A and B are shown apart, each in its own frame.
Chain A
Amino acid sequence: MRQISTEKISQAVRDLAIRANVELGEDVILAFEAAMEREESPTGREILKRLIENAKIAREQRIPMCQDTGFAVVFVELGQDVHITGGSLRDAITEGVRRGYEEGYLRKSICHCITRKNTGDNTPPVIHFDIVPGDRLRIIFAPKGGGSENMSRVTMLTPAVGIEGIRDFVVQRVKESGSNPCPPTIVGVGIGGTMEQAAILAKKALLRPLGSENPDEELRKLEKDWLERINRLGIGPQGLGGRITSLAVHINMMPCHIASLPVAVNIQCHAARHKEIEL
């Protein structure tokens, strides 16, 4: 059985937290550049230009691209032939978050829900564990900002509303979010499962690289159609008007109960951050 130490995991999570916050993915920068070609609003084009500049400054000067360095969301795929040594896997990841946010000069944004007292070290993280075949440990670190998370919603639709009902819910959500989630956004959609599963599907949809195709042909068509509808809303970069409200719609779908139609929309701001490692 392959062994991985908790210390190695903590250090890996620390590094991922810092890298995720200072290095914007190349796929997002390419999407900004493509958006600049299509954006008709001069203000919108200038904003996109500044976002590219911002990403460059963050990467070169090692400062976070956004001061909201997010809730630490971690997806873990643990191979069933891996043995973790030296303590608990959850504690190791939490320690990595603590170190990353302290040593990387990242903002600590987590607080008590009622008293609003800050926990001081950006813990606890939200960790989604999955057990998979093999002897590897895959960790995906996806810090999530408050502004765009606040605009996200889960709903339980009546099955009779069909695909049009789902589409209208998604487009309406983006419309009502307006300028708040820092457009241009990425719209993650989760359809099916149960209430909490729909939300996880939506969040996982945000991890798919921009510009990549949905492997499901039906969903691929829907993504294209819904994106077009969203970009007719006129919200534009930062909500100041323009063609490019969203860079992409990503849909994940799984079967649901015969009585239900769960739908989740997880909106991602343009600082679409995630980094991963396989140990």
Chain B
Amino acid sequence: MSEFIHLTTPLTDEDVKRLRIGDRVLISGVLYSARDAAHRRLVELLKEGKPLPFDVRGHVIYYMGPSPAPPGRPIGAAGPTTSYRMDPYTPELIAHGLKGMIGKGARSDAVKEAMKKYGAVYFAAIGGAGALMSLSIISAEVIAYPELGPEAVRRLEVKEMPVVVATDAYGGDLYEEGVKRYALPSI
């Protein structure tokens, strides 16, 4: 297994350019959490030409809705949700400067095209490993849409969150490559 690449957000174009599918990355810095409901609102704001509740330029969105924080912890379980539900909204955000996404599962062709065109990277975290993932989150604060409960937008401070590059800015897709490598002829 390759060594980890350390990255700190916000990401630069150079950060994005050096990443290739299969790279194992430890992310530190600030992430913003958002799921379907929040994405819908963000894209509506963009269409109306209104400012977003946070600056997406150079930033990374984590597709995640945590369980409530027990006393003494910054957050509850905090693993990724399935990314395809965000696909209809993602190209618009990438066009406005979003540089990275963390989730689980393959992306649509439209998202991959936008990633190539504007330079962005998609990381996979381990789905269902919510307890483990929560340990890399230092602080969490709701910054928009508190009425959405678990789906509210949170500003997360993370330290060395383990992820793998699943789709790079060159059209590489680890989901396709990985399955191709291990598929056997059907019987």
A interface residues, Cβ below 8 angstroms from B: 40-43, 46-47, 50-51, 53-55, 57-58, 61-69, 105-109, 116, 118, 120, 145-147, 150, 178-180, 182, 228-229, 232-236, 238-243, 269-271
Contact flag A179-B104 (CB < 8 Å), given A51-B129, A63-B131: yes
Contact B128 A270 (CB under 8 A): yes
Contact flag A105-B131 (CB < 8 Å), given A179-B104, A242-B182: no
Which residues in A have their C-beta under 8 angstroms from that of B179?
178, 233-236, 239, 241
Least CB distance from A255 to B in Å reads 29
Residue of B nearest to A239 (CB): B175
Contact A150 B124 (CB under 8 A): no
B interface residues, Cβ below 8 angstroms from A: 1, 22, 37, 64-70, 73, 76-79, 81-82, 84, 104-106, 124, 126-132, 134-135, 148-151, 162, 164, 166, 174-175, 177-187
Least CB distance from A56 to B in Å reads 9
Question: Most chain-A CB neighbours within 10 Å: which of B128, B132, B181?
Answer: B128
Contact A42 B1 (CB under 8 A): yes
Contact flag A180-B67 (CB < 8 Å), given A41-B182, A238-B104: no
Q: How far is the CA of A236 from the CA of B179 in the complex (A)?
A: 7
| 13 A-B residue pairings within 8 Å (CB atoms) | A43-B1, A50-B162, A67-B66, A107-B77, A118-B149, A229-B187, A232-B183, A232-B185, A236-B182, A239-B106, A241-B177, A241-B180, A269-B127
Q: How far is the CA of A67 from the CA of B62 in the complex (A)?
A: 13
Q: How far is the CA of A64 from the CA of B67 in the complex (A)?
A: 8
Least CB distance from B181 to A in Å reads 5
Q: How far is the CA of A118 from the CA of B35 in the complex (A)?
A: 14
Question: Most chain-B CB neighbours within 10 Å: which of A47, A58, A63, A235?
Answer: A63
Contact flag A63-B66 (CB < 8 Å), given A234-B182, A269-B128: no
Contact A234 B77 (CB under 8 A): no
Which residues in A have their C-beta under 8 angstroms from that of B183?
232-234
Least CB distance from B67 to A in Å reads 4
Contact A234 B184 (CB under 8 A): yes
Which residues in B have their C-beta under 8 angstroms from that of A42?
1
Least CB distance from A219 to B in Å reads 19
Contact A178 B105 (CB under 8 A): yes
Contact flag A179-B1 (CB < 8 Å), given A54-B132, A107-B68, A241-B181: no
Contact flag A65-B130 (CB < 8 Å), given A105-B70, A180-B105: yes
Q: How far is the CA of A82 from the CA of B117 in the complex (A)?
A: 66
Question: Most chain-B CB neighbours within 10 Å: which of A108, A150, A179, A182?
Answer: A179
Least CB distance from A70 to B in Å reads 11
Contact flag A147-B175 (CB < 8 Å), given A43-B164, A46-B1, A240-B164: no
Which residues in A have their C-beta under 8 angstroms from that of B104?
147, 179, 182, 238
Which residues in A have their C-beta under 8 angstroms from that of B131?
54-55, 57-58, 61, 63-66
